[in-house]
Chains A and B, each alone.
Chain A
């Protein structure tokens, strides 16, 4: 009887071990394609298109990637109580006045996009979506926080979260700025809500 019990116990233990091992293997194979970048990153958000508010806006974005978790904190100090779209773009530098192609005195959204390229990640209330819904972005003088699983965010974006060197652009000026028609608009937004006001390049600050 003792022998039978021992054999049964051994079988149970072996099956548990196999199950655990196979689950680890599955996890390993799914993460083989997705890198898990780790570390802390910072972007100093500096103003451009300087004449758009009573005081020029400035801010900061801090990103921490630890284990499978990404945490994003950002803030902007700005007088304009409007929606500020904040997006990470694929480019590697911030626009300057030299990028004002039509020489109207503004580096508008389209001119900026020539430099900063497409949106990689929208920093809104639905991290990972690219819906660009104005209502999901912060407003005015804002403090923003978001966190997400790195693996699920990578799957949503269908790419690894390599952030170093990418560019954050913040848009949005008050409607009373009445920008000229030469200033481009993004989707159905007004010229004032589309105009970029601040930019920063993401730098790694620790591993």
Chain B
């Protein structure tokens, strides 16, 4: 199945310096004079709009070479993408996250997250390993928080990624329950959601919270970013999409997800 088609847009020594992304494509949007390709692993690529249009590469594992400004140098399909595994629940399953006693305990949890991630590891893999290890070792049921950047924001700041995700804890603070993000790679303590998004959203605009992935997917131009929370079992944004469009809910950690996360990230 290797080599189906190759689209080379620029063959220069630049390809030697290129950033290589291997991932299926999540979606493609038109923004200004180019396509914004969103890869399932979170990376983005910009491709000029041509008369031939965008080739249909859905369902294929793509190898893309990107330059420093994330413009696509070449796109090549290397094999069919991994098929989704069956997910049993069809109704929204009840999910109760553990409420952590106080911020000190949340900080202890933060400090024991696995620090041995690899270079170029992807955020959803790190988050999945951290969440699953904390559940396996300490029976803590965390949440995940996804920040989804809109095409207009990605285009404006030439952002490298279209989403970011980290584990989220419910923490008892001053008589009520707050939420704290555990993003060990980018911060040295549990952060509030606004502190966390401020790291990536340079406009400091708050991200619009939504429970529907389609709200982000369909009308993304008016906001800089959207926020979605989910159970710890959700691995990547496709899980959020499947939940909404196909009533497919993840209700446990899948060994194949965890294995893939370890292989890529640790």
Is B253 in contact with chain A by the CB < 8 A criterion? no
Is A145 in contact with chain B by the CB < 8 A criterion? no
Is B194 in contact with chain A by the CB < 8 A criterion? no
Whether A58 lies near B185 (C-beta < 8 A) is: yes
Is B11 in contact with chain A by the CB < 8 A criterion? no
Chain B residues within 8 Å of A77, by CB: 119-120
Q: Count the B residues whose beta carbon is within 8 Å of the partner chain — how many?
A: 22
Chain A residues within 8 Å of B101, by CB: none
Is A37 in contact with chain B by the CB < 8 A criterion? no
Whether A54 lies near B186 (C-beta < 8 A) is: no
In the complex, per-residue mask of B159-180: 1 if CB is within 8 Å of any chain A CB, else 0: 1110000000000000000000
Chain B positions 202-227 with a Cβ under 8 Å from a chain A Cβ = 202
Whether B187 lies near A46 (C-beta < 8 A) is: yes
Chain A residues within 8 Å of B68, by CB: 79, 81
Whether B159 lies near A46 (C-beta < 8 A) is: no
Chain A positions 43-60 with a Cβ under 8 Å from a chain B Cβ = 44, 46-47, 50-51, 54-56, 58-60
Q: How far is the CA of A46 from the CA of B185 in the complex (A)?
A: 7
Whether A79 lies near B119 (C-beta < 8 A) is: no
In the complex, per-residue mask of B179-190: 1 if CB is within 8 Å of any chain A CB, else 0: 000001111100
Known: A44-B184, A46-B185, A79-B68. A59 touches B119 (CB 8 A): yes
**Cross-chain contact of B115 among A44, A59, A94 (Cβ < 8 A):** A44
Known: A46-B186, A47-B186, A50-B199. A55 touches B160 (CB 8 A): yes
Chain A residues within 8 Å of B17, by CB: 81
Whether B188 lies near A46 (C-beta < 8 A) is: yes
**How far is the CB of A112 from the nearest CB of chain B, in Å?**
16
Whether B159 lies near A55 (C-beta < 8 A) is: yes
Whether B119 lies near A54 (C-beta < 8 A) is: no
Q: How far is the CA of A173 from the CA of B194 in the complex (A)?
A: 25
Whether A56 lies near B200 (C-beta < 8 A) is: yes
Closest to A94 in B: B188
Is B158 in contact with chain A by the CB < 8 A criterion? yes
**Cross-chain contact of A75 among B69, B119, B186 (Cβ < 8 A):** B119
Whether B185 lies near A54 (C-beta < 8 A) is: no
Whether B202 lies near A55 (C-beta < 8 A) is: no
Is B144 in contact with chain A by the CB < 8 A criterion? no
- Which residues of B are at the interface with A, using a C-beta cutoff of 8 A? 17, 19, 68-70, 115, 117, 119-120, 157-161, 184-188, 199-200, 202
